[in-house]
């Protein structure tokens, strides 16, 4: 099931969402033009490597600089498909969350959601020598916030049934719960297989989603960010019923 659009309008222009998407494209374009060996070195340097963090913690060489890959890894991707799929989910869900949180709070929320994703990934794979890269953990946090803020929204979803494309409007709460269950299922199967799988950090997605739900309580202030011209919920319920 591939989400195409939702029915919740954005009142403010999502400047931070656009900035993050553009930055991800610029960084991956830089990766793309690097020679293969240089790109691998770049990813291993700036991607989040759990084994490296464990080694530095055990040796006592830990510093705040050690945590830089937690941030930089969110802006690296392994392929164009990886990048495009992440940025599509970002564009679909993040504009509305930024609308509710405000630009600066959304930026902090996004970064901390990504950190929560990397934290759970590290807890479950502290000895992994495979760099964790991609914006999907932070975007999962955005999806967790969307789940809380817009449970009655409708997600127009593309479903392929016997090679026939079918478009279905699915309540956001059902789509996001289904997505989360699939992450837990896939992460559990991967863990039972000894952690040898398709290279997807399933538990980072889970950590990001749960982290986003928890962080929303710290960053969301309904009264302060409610538009002055009209009540947001009244506007949405009248013009965009769902």
- Residue 207, domain member (yes or no): yes
- CA proximity to 23, closest of 72, 89, 64: 72
The pLDDT value recorded for residue 153 is 93
- Residue 78, domain member (yes or no): yes
Q: Find the mean pLDDT for residues 107-135.
A: 94
Q: Residue 226's pLDDT band (boundaries 50, 70, 90)?
A: very low
Q: Can you read off the two tokens belonging to residue 53? A: 């963090």
> Which residues are bridge partners to 156 per DSSP?
5, 169
- Residue 169, domain member (yes or no): no
- Residue 178, domain member (yes or no): no
Share of the chain above pLDDT 70, in %: 89
Q: How does the average pLDDT of the chain come out, rounded?
A: 87
- Residue 179, domain member (yes or no): no
The pLDDT value recorded for residue 26 is 97
Report the distance separating Cα 93 and Cα 225, nearest Å: 18
- Residue 25, domain member (yes or no): yes
Report the run of H or E that residue 121 belongs to, with start and end.
helix 103-124
**Chain center to CA of 184:** 15
- Residue 194, domain member (yes or no): no
| Radius of gyration of the chain from its Cα atoms, rounded to whole angstroms | 19
Q: Find the mean pLDDT for residues 215-224.
A: 79
Residue with tokens 């495009």, as numbered in its chain: 84
The pLDDT value recorded for residue 164 is 85
The pLDDT value recorded for residue 57 is 86
Q: Find the mean pLDDT for residues 105-116.
A: 96
- Residue 184, domain member (yes or no): no
Distances (CA, A) of 123 to 39, 52, 54, 203, 216: 27, 13, 10, 10, 22
Cβ burial, residue 65 (10 Å; 0-12/13-18/19+)? exposed
* CATH code, 79: 1.20.1540.10
Q: Residue 221's pLDDT band (boundaries 50, 70, 90)?
A: confident
Q: Can you read off the two tokens belonging to residue 17? A: 């969402």
The pLDDT value recorded for residue 31 is 95
Domain assignment of residue 148, given as a range? 9-154+201-239
Q: What is the pTM of this model?
A: 0.88
The pLDDT value recorded for residue 196 is 52
The pLDDT tens digits of the residues spanning 19-67 come to 999 999 999 999 999 999 999 999 999 999 999 999 988 887 777 778 8
> Which residues are bridge partners to 160 per DSSP?
165
The pLDDT value recorded for residue 17 is 97
The pLDDT tens digits of the residues spanning 55-97 come to 988 887 777 778 899 999 999 998 999 999 999 999 999 999 9
The pLDDT tens digits of the residues spanning 177-218 come to 999 999 999 988 888 877 655 578 899 999 999 999 999 999
Length of the chain: 242
More confident call, 216 vs 226: 216
The pLDDT value recorded for residue 146 is 96
Q: Number of structural domains, the chain?
A: 1
């Amino acid at each position: 099931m591939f989400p195409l659009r939702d029915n919740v309008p954005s009142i403010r222009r999502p400047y931070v969402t656009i900035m993050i998407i553009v930055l991800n494209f610029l960084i991956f374009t830089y990766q793309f033009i690097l020679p293969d060996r240089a790109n691998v070195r770049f990813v291993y340097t700036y991607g989040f490597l759990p084994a490296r963090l464990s080694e530095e913690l055990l040796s006592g060489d830990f510093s705040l600089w050690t945590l830089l890959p937690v941030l930089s890894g969110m802006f690296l991707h392994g392929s164009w498909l990886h990048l495009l799929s992440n940025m599509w989910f970002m564009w679909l869900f993040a504009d509305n969350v930024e609308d509710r949180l405000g630009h600066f709070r959304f930026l902090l929320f996004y970064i901390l959601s990504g950190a929560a994703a990397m934290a759970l990934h590290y807890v479950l794979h502290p000895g992994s020598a495979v760099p964790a890269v991609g914006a999907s953990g932070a975007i999962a946090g955005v999806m967790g916030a969307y789940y809380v803020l817009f449970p009655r929204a409708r997600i127009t979803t593309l479903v392929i049934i016997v090679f026939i494309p079918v478009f279905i409007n699915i309540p956001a709460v059902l789509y996001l719960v289904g997505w989360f269950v699939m992450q837990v299922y896939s992460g559990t199967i991967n863990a039972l297989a000894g952690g040898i799988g398709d290279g997807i950090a399933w538990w980072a997605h889970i950590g990001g989603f749960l982290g986003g739900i928890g962080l929303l309580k710290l960053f969301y202030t309904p009264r302060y960010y409610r538009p002055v011209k009209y009540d947001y919920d009244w506007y949405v319920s009248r013009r965009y019923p769902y």
